Chain A
Amino acid sequence: MKILVCISHVPDTTSKINFTADNKAFDTNGVQFVINPYDEFGLTRALWFKEKEGGSITVLNVGSAATEPTLRKALAIGADDAVRIDAEPTDAYFVACQIADHAKAENYDLIIMGRESIDYNGSQVPGMVAELLGWPFVNACVGMETEGGTAQCVREIDGGKETVEASLPMVIAGQKGLVEEKDLRIPNMRGIMTARSKPLNVRPALEAAHRTEATSYEKPEAKAAVRMVDAENMEELVRLLHEEAKVI
């Protein structure tokens, strides 16, 4: 199976999020970047497909040269080659056009992305790529098996799960469940050494429109100080929730 895994380069989950003084941009000062956690599940699932039935795994990122360490890490984990499309990923439609354009020329059987990136939480790129290519799309995918050209997927829905079937080639947006956290591959020394000689191809971006623009950034309002309630007085907590907070 020939698989494309798209990787977002995002702030580490423990990052403190700050914005520039004019509130016009995300302040990347002192921020550690990692492979988007949702994408990691997809990368390991792709490795399992390859180990079982052969094939190849290409990892792709739309981003500046600053994202290359993240792509090298994906190569060290086991991807065969990497593609970086050289552009700032500031709009989902623009990014989706880049990925779809790359995929059109490559005959992939499967494109795996994360359900969303943990920075902008857009959850738009996977569905857009599927629609641009005219391929089936399974969002919030927590399980996938293939037989011949058919895929059985499990998709998380509000308060449950759905089992669905589609024909390859297709796009899935994955998350935990595709593989479990304990199954996630981490780079070992040999992987890191071989990653250095694996191809990382930089391609120019396709001209495409930006349909949206981020115009200002703000932090949530700070919470007022916590009000402590005595553990022996739950009547008081219920009274506060009813009369003061008005939530029950």
Chain B
Amino acid sequence: MSVVVFAEQWEGKFKKTTFEAVSYGRRVADMLGVPTVAVVIGSLDEDAAQLATYGANKVVHFNASSLNSFDSSAFASALKEVAVSEEAQTVILSGTSNGKSVVPSLAIQWGAAPITNVAALPDSVDPMTVKRGAFSSKGFVTYTAHEQKTVLSFIPNAIGVAEFPGEAIVEEGSGAAEARVQVKGVDRATGSVPLPEAELVVSGGRGLKGPENWGMIEELAELLGAGTACSKPVSDMHWRPHSEHVGQTGIAINPNLYIAVGISGAIQHLAGVSNSKVIVVINSDAEAPFFKAADYGVVGDAFSVLPQLTEAVKRFKQG
């Protein structure tokens, strides 16, 4: 018996939500009283054994060059191989774009009950019962699995990282299926913190008046180590790429801090951001509906407030 975790790497490196996945897996494994097995797929520039810090007892590394680019079915088959050989009860993934793509394939290949968008630790592990986000952040639904085997993917940054003392052995994995989809090229925005795993997010709306004014958003974001986001109208007008659009038909995010500048807070926007732990709204209109959903509000012109906030953060960072 075991809990298996997909320890996702991007371009050879682990991200924080991978450590979050391993520690979530370890906590579920402790509830079941079984070991935690992390699975790394593709070549790695880092030490796979560091996953022990977050609770892995064993790491299985699939290093076949055919797995260096992503295919949902092939990645699912690697996880299934480990789930079968380790007699896993559950497989844990972070709900990244790749994680979300793998879950349904794995559920079919392995014959498991999938529960996605998970927002908390399980209420029970037998049967698996866990709370998940639904209705585009306007509700939560608790699901119970009707299968012994389950696949869970959680909302990145919803659970947090935990550390566990211990060491892990690293083994070579084999037996993954061939990819059905061939990756021809990757166009990754560089130098920015990708959504949705960003812990801090600075976001701009129509109130910024044009794409030429995004330097202010980017400067504050860089200073904070935050990701940048935008509202739907901004993405529709192509001021910013669609991958930055947060809201009902964009992406849902779950950061510790969301700073919204010049965004009025339509219900569709709130659907994507209301799970943020702390929301700061900066808007020139004191009647903007977003203030009702905010923790901290500033009524003022973005063009004067934002530079002052950036200066204040600079002074804070300098101590």
Please report which residues of chain B, range 76-100, place their CB below 8 angstroms from some CB of chain A when the two chains form the complex. Answer: 76, 96-98, 100
Name which residue of chain B comes closest to A125, CB basis.
B104
Known: A92-B104, A131-B108, A211-B113. A119 touches B134 (CB 8 A): yes
Stretch at the interface among A52-60, A173-181, A199-207: A173-181
Q: How far is B186's CA from A186's CA once the two chains are assembled, in angstroms?
A: 34
A157 and B188 form a contact (CB under 8 A): yes
Size bracket of the B interface: 35 or more
Known: A14-B267, A130-B105, A214-B143. A118 touches B136 (CB 8 A): yes
Q: Does A132 contact B (CB under 8 A)?
A: yes
Q: Which residues of B contact A198 (CB under 8 A)?
A: none
Q: Which residues of B contact A152 (CB under 8 A)?
A: 184
Known: A159-B192, A166-B180, A234-B309. A131 touches B249 (CB 8 A): no
Q: Which residues of A contact B292 (CB under 8 A)?
A: 223, 226
Q: How far is B267's CA from A123's CA once the two chains are assembled, in angstroms?
A: 21
Contact pick for B296, options A19, A93, A229, A232, CB 8 Å: A229
Q: How far is B109's CA from A132's CA once the two chains are assembled, in angstroms?
A: 9
A135 and B180 form a contact (CB under 8 A): yes
Q: Which residues of A contact B296 (CB under 8 A)?
A: 226-229, 237, 240-241, 245
Interface of B is mostly: mixed
Looking at the assembled complex, report how far the CB atom of A235 sits from the nearest CB atom of chain B, in whole angstroms: 5
Interface of A is mostly: mixed
Stretch at the interface among A75-83, A137-145, A189-197: A137-145
Q: Which residues of A contact B257 (CB under 8 A)?
A: 241, 245, 247-248
Stretch at the interface among B54-62, B207-215, B271-279: B271-279
B242 and A231 form a contact (CB under 8 A): no
Q: Which residues of B contact A122 (CB under 8 A)?
A: 116-117
A124 and B133 form a contact (CB under 8 A): no
Known: A120-B134, A231-B305. A159 touches B195 (CB 8 A): yes
Known: A93-B107, A177-B242. A212 touches B115 (CB 8 A): yes
Q: How far is B265's CA from A153's CA once the two chains are assembled, in angstroms?
A: 33
Q: How far is B236's CA from A130's CA once the two chains are assembled, in angstroms?
A: 31
Name which residue of chain B comes closest to A11, CB basis.
B135
A123 and B141 form a contact (CB under 8 A): no
A231 and B195 form a contact (CB under 8 A): no
B186 and A162 form a contact (CB under 8 A): yes
Q: How far is B293's CA from A137's CA once the two chains are assembled, in angstroms?
A: 38
Looking at the assembled complex, report how far the CB atom of A212 sits from the nearest CB atom of chain B, in whole angstroms: 5
Q: Does A127 contact B (CB under 8 A)?
A: yes
Looking at the assembled complex, report how far the CB atom of A181 sits from the nearest CB atom of chain B, in whole angstroms: 6
Q: Does B138 contact A (CB under 8 A)?
A: yes
Q: Which residues of B contact A214 (CB under 8 A)?
A: 141-143
Q: Does B31 contact A (CB under 8 A)?
A: no
Looking at the assembled complex, report how far the CB atom of A214 sits from the nearest CB atom of chain B, in whole angstroms: 5
Contact pick for A128, options B10, B107, B188, B291, CB 8 Å: B107
A131 and B76 form a contact (CB under 8 A): yes
Q: Does B63 contact A (CB under 8 A)?
A: no
Please report which residues of chain A, range 163-178, place their CB below 8 angstroms from some CB of chain B when the two chains form the complex. Answer: 163-166, 175-177
Q: List 20 A-B contacts (CB under 8 A).
A: A14-B268, A37-B249, A123-B103, A126-B104, A127-B105, A131-B104, A131-B108, A137-B73, A137-B181, A158-B194, A163-B183, A176-B249, A209-B146, A212-B113, A217-B140, A223-B295, A231-B301, A240-B296, A247-B256, A248-B316
Given contact pairs A128-B108, A137-B105, A211-B114, enumerate 5 new A-B contacts (beta carbons under 8 Å).
A92-B114, A160-B189, A165-B181, A219-B140, A223-B293
The residues of A with any CB-CB pair to B shorter than 8 Å are: 11, 13-14, 17, 19, 26, 37-38, 92-93, 96, 118-128, 130-132, 135-140, 142, 152-153, 155-166, 175-177, 181, 209-220, 223-224, 226-232, 234-235, 237-238, 240-242, 245, 247-248
